């Protein structure tokens, strides 16, 4: 049986060019970064809220950790929460060192914002609500000027390559070269989340669960797969993806209104608009179904131009004047708390495979992520992954490698089956779930899977959807972002870990291995 050509490199390969991937590369000094689109793509650029760090005069890391634990629905690893909170100021300083400029107040101190679930002001921003874009610009600039980092754009990673229980490489695909097996001492998955499995999402088109799926196909342990965070306030603009309206708007004083123009969150939670995201998302979803849900930013109209320029531009693009009119909103899939199980150094259950950022589940988020902890987690664990790889002994190229037998045969555009899948996921594995809906959903996914699996995107969307729906059906309680209308109360605090059976492979000799040239 034939196999793709085999090449090798002597540096780690990082899959993903978001904040976690680029921060890992910079911390390593020598690495190859593979990204399936251009460098300017992915979710990190779209992040508006900011980065949480206890750097205020009256703030402490212990308070930041406590807020993280309180929001996480009883499933946060408290040691991880403390570790991340304690390192947060260091990560902000590191970003400043590489060129990120955070917003300051009139006194010249960092201008700290507040978002849902935080007990105090501790969110740093840059460019108001353009934090992700500005931070990513600094990271991309640092990577571009780093002689030890090579970036391979427009390159798909379609599977991992194993040798026993060790991951020894990846299978890449480009239009010009076709499939290539690339052997490497270490693989870091930093591919982001799964948002595109839902028809309503704030995630860009590239976020199709790739890292989660290829890790599952290799047999890596996965956990918390049912926990998808739905952002309460996406602009209901009938676009794909939906524009995000940052939580910082509500932190600054914007209010949520129903179809009759009345505030409704104060009746639902004592923290009103700043209640945990799962509470606000369900309330907004119900209001949207019963006459409409709106975000009124007119109470902070004087701050919009300076602090929320992205919001002003987004509203203008769909013909809304935010200075006078409320903005129609809907919940949308935004962030994934589940993923590949890692330890505190980003190591997965497979030797040679690391994960960080949204694709990993570290124990930080539990069942409901605290606002502005996502970029922070990517930064903290990128540094820890790099440190762990530097300390490890690089293994030589194995004599034999195991390559998955079946591969998608097409890179075609999304099919009608993809649209059908995304709509069904929103309806049955979205904000509210139940046994009947999830059972019907699983049947549909299995029916669609054969045709979907003919393409890389279809295979990944179908597999990720199956993992989420199956986990949601098995968790017969409501906790954090996972709400079962047939089991509305919280049960015992349990975390579900699965170890998927690896896909069938063929064993090939690596004797004819070519050294890949990297600049």
Inter-residue contact 172 to 182 (CB < 8 Å) = yes
**Phi and psi at residue 65, to the nearest 5°:** -65, -40
Strand 166-174, strand 156-163: pairing: antiparallel
Q: Residue 65: helix, strand or coil by DSSP?
A: helix
Run of H or E including 382: helix 374-391
Instruction: Kindly provide the residue ranges of all beta strands, DSSP E only, lying in 9-165, ordered along the sequence.
Output: 13-15, 31-34, 51-52, 123-124, 149-152, 156-163
Please name which of 452, 460, 394, 377 lies closest in space to residue 419, comparing C-alpha atoms: 452
Max CA distance (Å), the chain: 71
Run of H or E including 304: helix 301-307
Instruction: Kindly provide the residue ranges of all beta strands, DSSP E only, lying in 209-267, ordered along the sequence.
Output: 222-223, 228-235, 255-258
How far apart are alpha carbons 479 and 397 in whole angstroms?
45
Please name which of 227, 252, 339, 236 lies closest in space to residue 293, comparing C-alpha atoms: 236
Please name which of 253, 242, 258 lies closest in space to residue 294, comparing C-alpha atoms: 258
Q: Residue 410: helix, strand or coil by DSSP?
A: strand
In this structure, what token pair is assigned to residue 479? Answer: 């906790």
Burial of 105 (0-12, 13-18, 19+ CB in 10 A): exposed
Catalytically annotated residue among 277, 384, 459, 475: 277
Please name which of 298, 210, 303, 208 lies closest in space to residue 255, comparing C-alpha atoms: 298
CA distances (Å), 269 to each of 1, 237, 282, in order?
61, 27, 12
Run of H or E including 403: strand 400-404
Determine the Cα angle at 192 with ends 390 and 12, to 5°. Answer: 25
Mention every residue, 6+ apart, whose C-beta is less than 8 A from residue 406: 503, 504
DSSP 330: E
In this structure, what token pair is assigned to residue 249? Answer: 């708007």
In this structure, what token pair is assigned to residue 108? Answer: 């010249």
Inter-residue contact 186 to 390 (CB < 8 Å) = no
Residues 210-224 as b or e (16 or more Cβ within 10 Å = b): bbbbbbbbbbbbbbb
DSSP 429: S
In this structure, what token pair is assigned to residue 83? Answer: 């570790």
* Residue 277 falls in the annotated catalytic set: yes
Task: Give the residue numbers marked as catalytic.
Answer: 277
């Amino acid at each position: 049986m034939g196999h793709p050509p085999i090449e090798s490199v002597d540096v780690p390969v990082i899959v993903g060019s978001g904040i976690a991937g680029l921060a890992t590369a910079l911390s390593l000094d020598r690495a190859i970064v593979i990204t399936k689109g251009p460098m300017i793509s992915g979710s990190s650029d779209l992040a508006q809220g900011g980065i949480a760090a206890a750097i205020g005069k009256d703030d402490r890391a212990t308070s930041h950790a406590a807020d993280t634990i309180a929001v996480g629905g009883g499933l946060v690893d408290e040691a991880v929460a403390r570790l991340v909170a304690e390192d947060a100021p260091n990560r902000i300083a590191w970003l400043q060192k590489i060129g990120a400029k955070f917003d300051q107040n009139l006194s010249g101190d960092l201008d700290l914002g507040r978002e849902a679930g935080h007990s105090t002001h501790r969110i740093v921003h840059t460019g108001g609500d353009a934090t992700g874009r500005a931070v990513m610009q600094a990271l991309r600039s640092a990577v571009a000027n780093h002689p030890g980092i090579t970036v391979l754009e427009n390159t798909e990673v379609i599977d991992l390559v194993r040798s026993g229980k060790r991951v020894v490489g990846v299978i890449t695909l480009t239009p010009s070269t076709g499939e290539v097996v690339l052997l490497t001492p270490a693989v870091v998955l930093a591919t982001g989340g799964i948002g595109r499995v839902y028809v309503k999402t704030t995630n860009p088109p590239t976020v199709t669960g790739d890292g989660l799926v290829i890790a599952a196909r290799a047999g890596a342990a996965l956990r918390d797969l049912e926990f998808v965070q739905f952002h309460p306030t996406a602009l209901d603009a009938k676009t794909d993806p939906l524009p995000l309206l940052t939580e910082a708007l509500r932190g600054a004083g914007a209010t949520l209104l129903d179809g009759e123009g009345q505030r409704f969150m104060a009746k639902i939670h004592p923290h009103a608009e700043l209640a945990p995201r799962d509470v606000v998302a369900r309330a907004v979803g119900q209001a949207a179904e019963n006459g409409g849900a709106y975000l009124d930013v007119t109470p902070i109209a004087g701050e919009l131009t300076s602090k929320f320029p992205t919001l002003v531009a987004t509203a203008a693009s769909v013909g809304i004047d935010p200075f006078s009119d409320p903005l129609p909103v809907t919940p949308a899939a935004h962030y994934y708390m589940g993923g590949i199980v890692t330890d505190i150094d980003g190591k997965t259950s497979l030797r040679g495979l690391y994960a960080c950022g949204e694709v990993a589940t570290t124990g930080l988020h539990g069942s409901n992520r605290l606002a502005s902890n996502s970029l922070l987690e990517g930064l903290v664990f990128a540094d820890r992954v790099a440190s762990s790889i530097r300390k490890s002994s690089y293994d030589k190229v194995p004599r034999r490698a195991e390559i998955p037998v079946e591969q998608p045969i097409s890179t075609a555009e999304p099919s009608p089956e993809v649209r059908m899948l995304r709509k069904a996921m929103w309806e049955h594995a979205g904000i509210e779930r139940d046994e009947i809906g999830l059972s019907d959903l699983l049947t549909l996914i299995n029916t669609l899977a054969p045709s979907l699996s003919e393409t890389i995107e279809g295979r990944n969307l179908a597999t990720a959807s199956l993992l989420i729906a199956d986990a949601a059906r098995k968790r017969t309680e409501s906790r954090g972002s996972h709400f079962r209308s047939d089991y509305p109360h919280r049960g015992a605090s349990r975390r579900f870990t699965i170890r998927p059976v690896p896909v069938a492979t063929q064993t090939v000799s690596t004797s004819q291995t070519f050294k890949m040239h990297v600049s």
